[in-house]
Structure 1
C-alpha cells in the first residue's frame, strides 16, 4: 500500500464531496475503547485492507479497484470502491481474505472471527448484505493453499497470498491509530471525572477532626489570601478578579492537567501505512487529542456554570468559585478547539486554494468553524466590565453563543461521522447538564413559588424597597419581572442569606444592593419570643410588617432594598407606589442549604465561639442572619460583634426598623445592641480595620469567625489582615459573603 504525507492523509480523511469522504456506518455507543472498537481484531482489518488493494472482477462497479484505505478515526479514506454486494459475493476476494485471516489471526477464537466476518466483510455500513459464505466456509473452499503474491496491478481472479510488508504497514497504522484514539478518550474521561471528583473530595476534608490552630494556619497560608498581591474582589484593570490561593490551586490543576494530557502518551508505530514519517504521525495525533480534550472540557464548563449544579449539592464550594473556574475552563476549551481547527486548516492551505475552497463548502467543516468562533467570541463578550455594565447584552449573547457552540460541535461530528465513534457523547453529556438545569430544575423552582406580586416603594434618592408577600426563601434567589421588558427570560440574582422564619406580624425584611441589576437581598424572621430570650434579633413589632399594602397578618414575606441604578431599577421605579404591585417570578432557593454537607462556618462551635462581622454599606444584609440566634449556648460562651460602616443614614434607619435596637450614644460612631449582638455603626467615617480586627481577635477567648461583606476594597483588606493574623498564631477563620458572580 502506498504511503502519504500528513497533509494528504488529513485531506483524504476530511475531504468531500460528500459521499466519498463523509464517513457513515453503524452507530456506536460510548467512546472509542469504552466500549466502541475501531479495529477488533486488528489482524482481520489489516488483512481486509491489504486484500482490497487488488482490483475485483465485479460487474456492478465502474471502478473495480478494491483498494479501500483503512478508516482514519472512522473516516472512509477510499476513492472509488466496489459495492458492498461485490465484496460480499466475490469468491477470490472472500477466499483470499479468509486465508489471510487464518494465517495472521492465530490467537483469535473462531467466534470472534465469524463475528468480524459477518459485520465487516462487505463494509461498515449500518445496512449492507451479508457475505454469501461464512468465514469457515470460505476458508474450506481454499482447496489448494496459495504460494505466491498476485501482482499489485492485476485483477484478483484467484486466491493469493498478501504482501507481508503491506500487511505489516496496515497492521501498524490501524493498531497505532486505534491505540491513540483510546488514549485520547481515556485522557478526556480523566479530565472530566477528576474535575468533578476533586471538589467533592476536598470538601470532605473539612470534616476531619483537625486542631483549630492547624486549620487556621493552613487556611491563612494556602487557602484564604489572594493568589498574588493584596486584591481579590477588586478587579485587575477592571477586567477580571484574582482568585484566592485555594481557588488558584484548583485552577492550576485544571491548567496543568490539560497541558499534560495534551502533551504526553503519544506513541509511534512502525511500519505504518498511514504516515510518511513519525513527525507527521505525531502531528495527526496532537490535532485529534486537543479536539477530544476540548470536547471533554465542554461538560465541565457547563457543569460549573449551572445553578442546579450537582457539585453545589455535594460540596461546600460557592457558586462564585465554580463560576470563576468555569471561566478558566472555557478559556482552555476555546484554545484547544482553536488549535484543533488551525492544524486541520493549515493542512488544506498547504495544498492550495482549490482544496480549501472545496472542503470549506462541506457541512461538517463550516459547523466546526461556527463552533470554534462561538467559543472564541464568548471570551471578550464575558469580561467583567461588560457583565457589570451591560448585563442584559452579556446574558443574551452568552446564552446564544453557548448554545450555538454546543450545536456546532454536535453537527460538526454528525456531518463528518454520523454516530459511529461516540465523539458526540461529550456533547450529549453537556446538553444533559444544561437541560437539567434550564429545562427541568429552574422551571420546577419557578412553579413551586408561582406568580407573586412585587410591591415597589421609594425609600429615598438612593434606595427602592421591593416587598414580595407570600414568599419564604433562603440562600439565593433569582427574580424575573416578565412585564417590565419584552425579554421575559431575563432574571436577576439576589443573595438571600437568612433563614426564612415566620414573623409574628407577618413580614420578613432585608436589604439589597443592585449594581447593574445585580442585587443583594435577605429574608429574616423571628418567633413570638422575640429577642427577649435572645433567640432572634428581629423585632416582632416592626413597622415594616404593614408596608406595601400588607397588613399585620402572620404571613411569610421577603423584602429587599435595592440601590437605584440604571437598568432594572429604572424600570422598577416607574411602578413605585402601585397598590397592585407587579408580577414577579421567583426561582428559589439556592445557597448554603443546597449542600448535603453540614456548613458550620457561620455558626458558633466549641473551637470558634466568637463571631465578628465586618459590614460595608448594604453588605450588612448578608451578615444579619449570622447575628440571629445569638443566644445559643455556644455563642453565649463567646462574643458576637458587628462593625458596620455606611454612608447612608436612611440605610441605617431601614435596618434598625427591623431589628431590636438598644442604642448607646448618638454620634456618628455609635455602639448599639441588636438582640445579644454588640454593633458599632459608623456613618460617613471608615473604621481602622486593622485596629478593629487585632483588638477583637487577639482579645478573644477561643477562636473567632470573621465574616465580611461589603465593597471589594474593604473585603480585600479584611481578607489580608485576617490571613496575616492567622499566620501569626491567631485562631481565626474567614467567611466572605461576596457580591461577585
Structure 2
C-alpha cells in the first residue's frame, strides 16, 4: 500500500506540474530543468528531516535541498534558475504545505569547493538505495534521463555540452507527463467542441427555417390564385444556390432513414435513425475512438516506470477515465425534458434521447477501458500485490461500483427493456444514476476536488430539470383566479370505448393548448405515483360560462346526437384537454381495467373525478400552415396527433393566418368505423370533409383490391375496407402539388410500419419533385 500511496502522491504532483500555475509555454520551458532535478532527488532517501515524506524531505531537509540547488546550477542554463527555483518553492507550498529552505540559507554548502566534494552518483550506483548522509551530485546521463522523463525534445544534436543543452531546452514541446495530462484534458474538452458544433448547426438550421417561414405570407388564397407560386419561383431564382443546397440536405440527409424502410420499425430490436443522425453518431464514435488511441509518449528508461508498457497502459487508463468524466455532463444534458437546446434547435426529444444513449455507451466503454488499462498497468509494472490490496480502499472499490453501475444502466436502456418494462426501466435508471454520481464523487475524492467540475454539473442539471418539472406540474394543475378569489385545480375524467379500444382522459387546465404538444400524466395517489407517461394532446375545447364542464361518455348517452354526461363544472376561462390512449401494458392497462371495473357491461365505461396531474406542455407545432397542401396520415390512435392540427387550421383559416388551400386526413384503423361518432372533428360548416376518390379501383387508394367492394358512407366520411396505399396517395398528392405550383406537407403518425412507409414514399416524392414536398412525423421516442 505504500507503493500505491506513493504513486498517488507522484501523480498528484505531476498532474498539477504546470497547468495550476497558468504559465505560458515559455515560462514552463524555463522551469522544466529544475523540475527534472527535484523529481530525481525527491525519490532518494536522505537522513534527517522528512525521511519517508516526499515534500517535507525535499523542501526542509538541508541535504536534499542542497543537492537540488547544486545539481541545478551544474546542469541548468542560468536564465532557467530563477523560474525553476520559484516553481520549486510554490510546489513545496502547494503540495507539501511547507516552505522551501532558501538558497541563501545553504550558501555555505554551495561554494565551489563544497560542491566539488560532493559524491557524483549514477543511476546504477548502489548508494542510491541507501540512506544518504551528504549532499550529492548526479551524473549527466542520469540527469538527461530524468530530464527526458520530464521533457520532450524535438530531434536535434546529441551534444551534451551546456550550450547545446540550453539550445535543446528552447526547443521543448512539453514535459512528458504534463503533455499527457494536458492532452487527456484537451481531448475531453474536444467532446464539448464536437457536440457544441452539432448544436450550433442545429440552431442555424432552425433560424433558416424560421426565416423561410416568416417570408411566406400567412394569408389564405383561393385555389385559383397562382400568384404565390410565381413569386416563389422568382424567389428561388434569387437564391437558387442556397435553396438547392438546403433542398439536397433535406432530401438526402434529414428525411430518409439510414436503412430504409426501417425507421420507427425495429430491426433486430433496434430503431434506425435518419442518415444525418447516423452521420453524427458515427462521427462521435470515430472521434472518441481515435482520441482514445493517439498521442501516447512512452520511452524506455522513464524514471517512474522504466518499461514502455506500464507507461502506455497508465496513459490509456488516465485518458479513458478523463474522457468518460468529460462525457458525463453531456450525457445528463441530452437526457432532460427541460432542455433549452430542444427549443433552440427545434429537434424532437427522440433525437436528443438518441444522442444521450450513444454518449452513455461511449462513456461506459471508456470507463471499462479505464478499469482494464489500470489493471494492465499494475501487472506490467510489477505491482500485482498492490493491485489486489487496492480493493481494500474505498475510493478504489467505488470506482468499480461506478463502472458496474454505468454498465447496467446501458444494458437496461436497450429498446427491448424500454418497451417491455418501462416503469421498471425508469426506476432502475434513476436509482443507478444516483449511485453512479455518489460513487464517482468518492472515487476521485483523492484528487482534492480536481474532477468535481465534471460531477457537479450532473447534480445541477438533474436538480434544474426536476425543479422545472415541479413548476410545470403546479402551473398546469393549479390556477389562482384573483378576480373571484378562487383556486381551481385540475381534475380528470376517464372513459374507455371498448369498440375503439381507446381510453380517453379529459383534464381541465388554464394552459392554452396548441398542436404538436404532448404532456406527461401522473396519477399521484397510487403506490407508484412517481410514474409519468407522455401522451400527445388529441383534442381540446374551451369552456364557456354556460357549458363549462369536464365531460365523458356514459352508456345512456353514447350516441352521436346526445352529449356526454356532465361530470363537474370548471372555470369559464379554462380548457378541457383530451388524451386518447391505446391501452397496452402497465399504467394504460390499469386505466382501462379501472373503467371496466366501474361499468363492466357497458361499451363505454367511465370513471369520474380522478386525480391525474399534467406536466407540460412539451413539444412544438410543425409549420403546416406555411404549406399550400397538407396530407395527414394517421394509423390507429395516431389520429390523436392530427386532430389538433385540423383544429388549428380551422382557427387560422377563420383569422386568415394560413396558406393551406387543401387539407386531407387519411385515417387507417381497425375500429375506425365503430368509433367515428365520437371523433370530435369540426363541423361540416367549418371544414369540408370529403374523399375525392369516387371509385376505389380507379383511384387506387387501397392495397387490398379484393376488399374494395366493402364501402360505407356516413355523413361526409367514406369508409373503405382494406389497407390504404400510402405510397400512391403521397405520389398523387405530390404530383398534384407540383402541377399547381404548390408546396405539400406530409405528416404521419401511427404504427411503425405505416410511418416508415409514409417516410419512404415522401422521400421518393422529394427526389422526384425537388423542394415542393416536405415530411413531418409525430412520434415520441424514449
Q: CA deviation at 1:546?
A: 6.5
Match of residue 364, structure 1, among 395, 413, 426 = 395
Map 1:348-363 to 2 at 5 A: 348=378, 354-363=385-394
| Structure 2 CA distance for aligned equivalents of residues 266 and 233 of structure 1 | 42
Change in 2 beyond 3 A, CA 1:290/1:718: same
Partner of 1:647: 670
| Structure 2 CA distance for aligned equivalents of residues 286 and 399 of structure 1 | 30
Change in 2 beyond 3 A, CA 1:87/1:650: same
Q: Deviations over 1:704-730 (max 9, x none)?
A: 111111111000001111111111234
Map 1:277-292 to 2 at 5 A: 277-292=307-322
Map 1:689-704 to 2 at 5 A: 689-700=726-737, 701=740, 702-704=742-744
Q: Deviations over 1:424-465 (max 9, x none)?
A: 422233333223222x22222223234632222233352222
| Structure 2 CA distance for aligned equivalents of residues 103 and 231 of structure 1 | 72
Q: Deviations over 1:208-231 (max 9, x none)?
A: 466556544432222211102311
Q: CA deviation at 1:487?
A: 2.2
Partner of 1:346: 376
Contact 2:184 2:323 in 1 (8 A): yes
Match of residue 48, structure 1, among 31, 38, 42 = 38
TM-score by length of 2: 0.75
Change in 2 beyond 3 A, CA 1:366/1:256: same
Contact 2:491 2:508 in 1 (8 A): yes
Contact 2:194 2:284 in 1 (8 A): no
Contact 1:663 1:670 in 2 (8 A): no
Matched, 1:248 2:278: yes
Partner of 1:276: 306
| Structure 1 CA distance for aligned equivalents of residues 610 and 16 of structure 2 | 49
Contact 1:476 1:590 in 2 (8 A): yes
Partner of 1:429: 457
Change in 2 beyond 3 A, CA 1:453/1:499: closer
Q: CA deviation at 1:584?
A: 2.5
| Structure 2 CA distance for aligned equivalents of residues 616 and 397 of structure 1 | 32
Map 1:583-732 to 2 at 5 A: 583-592=611-620, 601-605=622-626, 608-627=627-646, 628-630=648-650, 631=653, 633=656, 635-636=658-659, 638-648=661-671, 649-656=673-680, 668=711, 682=719, 684-700=721-737, 701=740, 702-730=742-770, 731-732=772-773
Q: CA deviation at 1:333?
A: 1.5
Match of residue 380, structure 1, among 394, 407, 411 = 411
| Structure 2 CA distance for aligned equivalents of residues 262 and 725 of structure 1 | 43
Map 1:48-67 to 2 at 5 A: 48-58=38-48, 64=51
1:479 alignment partner, SS class: strand
Q: CA deviation at 1:56?
A: 1.7
TM-score by length of 1: 0.79
Partner of 2:64: 93
The unaligned stretches of length 5 or more in structure 1 are 1-14, 65-80, 512-540, 594-600, 674-679
Q: CA deviation at 1:190?
A: 0.9
| Structure 2 CA distance for aligned equivalents of residues 559 and 28 of structure 1 | 63
| Structure 1 CA distance for aligned equivalents of residues 676 and 366 of structure 2 | 51
Contact 1:478 1:494 in 2 (8 A): yes
| Structure 2 CA distance for aligned equivalents of residues 355 and 373 of structure 1 | 22
The unaligned stretches of length 5 or more in structure 2 are 151-174, 213-238, 479-488, 554-559, 599-605, 695-709
Matched, 1:143 2:163: no
Map 1:130-529 to 2 at 5 A: 130-131=99-100, 133-135=101-103, 137-138=105-106, 142-144=110-112, 146-147=115-116, 148-151=118-121, 153=127, 156-174=132-150, 175-208=175-208, 215-237=246-268, 239-268=269-298, 272-348=302-378, 354-414=385-445, 416-419=446-449, 422-438=450-466, 440-449=467-476, 450=478, 452-460=490-498, 462-472=501-511, 473-474=513-514, 475-484=517-526, 486-496=527-537, 505-506=547-548
Change in 2 beyond 3 A, CA 1:563/1:447: same
Contact 1:647 1:683 in 2 (8 A): no
1:192 alignment partner, SS class: helix
Mean Cα displacement is larger for which, 171-180 or 35-44? 35-44
2:305 alignment partner, SS class: coil
Q: CA deviation at 1:693?
A: 0.8
Mean Cα displacement is larger for which, 186-195 or 143-152? 143-152
Contact 2:325 2:454 in 1 (8 A): yes
| Structure 2 CA distance for aligned equivalents of residues 509 and 260 of structure 1 | 60
Higher helix share: 2
* Aligned-residue RMSD, C-alpha: 3.8
| Structure 2 CA distance for aligned equivalents of residues 276 and 167 of structure 1 | 15
Change in 2 beyond 3 A, CA 1:215/1:93: closer
| Structure 2 CA distance for aligned equivalents of residues 226 and 218 of structure 1 | 13
2:292 alignment partner, SS class: helix
Map 1:102-141 to 2 at 5 A: 102=73, 106=77, 112-113=83-84, 115-121=86-92, 124-125=95-96, 128-131=97-100, 133-135=101-103, 137-138=105-106
Report which of the two structures shows the higher radius of gyration computed on alpha carbons.
2
Mean Cα displacement is larger for which, 141-150 or 290-299? 141-150
Q: Deviations over 1:145-174 (max 9, x none)?
A: 623544452655544333333333233323
| Structure 2 CA distance for aligned equivalents of residues 671 and 167 of structure 1 | 96
Contact 1:615 1:643 in 2 (8 A): yes
Q: CA deviation at 1:91?
A: 2.1
| Structure 1 CA distance for aligned equivalents of residues 37 and 13 of structure 2 | 23
Change in 2 beyond 3 A, CA 1:418/1:651: farther
| Structure 1 CA distance for aligned equivalents of residues 14 and 178 of structure 2 | 15
Change in 2 beyond 3 A, CA 1:571/1:690: closer
| Structure 1 CA distance for aligned equivalents of residues 292 and 275 of structure 2 | 25
Q: CA deviation at 1:44?
A: 2.8
Change in 2 beyond 3 A, CA 1:733/1:542: farther
Change in 2 beyond 3 A, CA 1:663/1:111: same
Change in 2 beyond 3 A, CA 1:121/1:465: closer
Contact 1:32 1:182 in 2 (8 A): no
| Structure 2 CA distance for aligned equivalents of residues 140 and 497 of structure 1 | 90
| Structure 2 CA distance for aligned equivalents of residues 552 and 378 of structure 1 | 45
| Structure 1 CA distance for aligned equivalents of residues 727 and 401 of structure 2 | 53
| Structure 2 CA distance for aligned equivalents of residues 501 and 35 of structure 1 | 64
Q: CA deviation at 1:207?
A: 3.9
- In the comparison of the two structures, how many residue pairs are matched? 655
1:406 alignment partner, SS class: helix
